[in-house]
Amino acid sequence: MKSKYLPFEIVYEDRDIVVIDKPAGLLTTHTRLHGRAAREAQPTAENMLNAYVRKGQAKSRRQVFLVHRLDRETSGVMMFAKDASLADAIRERWGELTEKTYVADVEGRIEEESGAMESWLKEDDDGYRVRSVGRGDGAKFARTEWRRISLRGGNTRVEVALKTGRKNQIRVHFAEAGHPVVGDVKYGARKADGLHLRAVKLAFTHPLTGRRMVFEVPS
């Protein structure tokens, strides 16, 4: 479903949540801008959804609340809550309530059929890059499980299940394994037609109703 307020598809919507198919290149939420007006004017999925739920009424108090993020260059299924307390409940139990699945094309041929990567991740001081470091000093544990889908020339298509949701996690783990995501120049890949990383499935247990919900978009 599309709206005049949105340049992307709504996958699902009810009174509690709205699920979208975020396009590559669109920020999830505002960057570190000074001033509320500047932040609210920035083209982000969050701001566009706020305009959508307000139906053009600038004084409306309706809004959406961020519960997780996708990198700007990553496309795919993403969920927002329509209530602050629900958003808090989802964030607090994110790892327990949700399962996220991605499809990625990575450079090089991976001969193994499946595997897992674990490390402790930490952002650089400027927040631009993330890397694996030793345990401690603010590093966060990350586990990435994957299975090979196909070999395509010199690249490999993989399905990835995130067991933790750290910034740039998939990109860092595959780059450090010698197989950066196709198009991920930031982490050492050759330039391509965009970042070949897409969130294709989000499975979610509603913290209030207990209902299990599954949202999928084409890969």
Active centre residues (catalytic):
71
Q: CA 178, CA 169: separation in Å to the nearest integer? A: 14
Which residues does 151 contact at the CB level (< 8 Å), separation at least 6?
A: 109, 110, 157
Tell me which H or E stretch contains 97: helix 94-97
Q: CA 184, CA 24: separation in Å to the nearest integer? A: 13
Say which amino acid occupies 210. Answer: G
Q: CA 40, CA 123: separation in Å to the nearest integer? A: 26
